[in-house]
Amino acid sequence: MQDTDRSAIIKIGDEEYQLILTTKATKEIAKRYGGLENLGAKLMKTENFEMALDEVVWLITLLANQSILIHNLKNKDKRDLLTEEAVELLTSPLELAAYKNAIMEAMFKGTKRNIESEDDSKNTPAG
């Protein structure tokens, strides 16, 4: 498994998955929400319960698949990607509500690391 300093771990069915905010996932989130900053507001404001569940399922699938894609990139033993249908079948709405915290933790860890590295590059003298 990957480093846990930029991920949150959840259990779906009998398996543990790491939720990782990668650049690839950030681009997908930006396409869907217009940016990471809009995501928290969207998750918290969703009045329609079914729509809120759809968003959480989509995010869990996206973030959990990042660790699988990284594994598949680095290893010969390829693992199948998680599907939204599998997440829906293997979880309860109560679990999904708890996973919101894991999603936010993964986002925080991913963006914290990015901000720190951006700050470092600004401090290096030019030329």
pLDDT tens digits, one per residue of 23-65:
999 999 999 988 877 776 676 665 666 677 888 899 999 999 9
4 pLDDT more than 70:
no
Q: How many domains does the chain have?
A: 1
Q: Is residue 16, in this structure, part of any structural domain at all?
A: yes
For residue 120, being part of any structural domain is answered with: no
Q: Give yes or no for residue 108 having a pLDDT over 70.
A: yes
With H, G, I as helix, E, B as strand and everything else as coil, classify residue 82: coil
Entry pTM: 0.78
Helices (H), the chain: 23-33, 36-45, 49-74, 84-90, 93-122
Q: Is residue 121 part of a domain?
A: no
Residue 89 counted as domain residue: yes
> How, if at all, do strands 7-12 and 15-20 pair?
antiparallel
Q: Is the pLDDT of residue 70 over 70?
A: yes
Whether residue 124 lies inside any domain: the answer is no
Determine what percent of the chain is predicted with pLDDT higher than 90. 47
Range of the domain at 31: 4-114
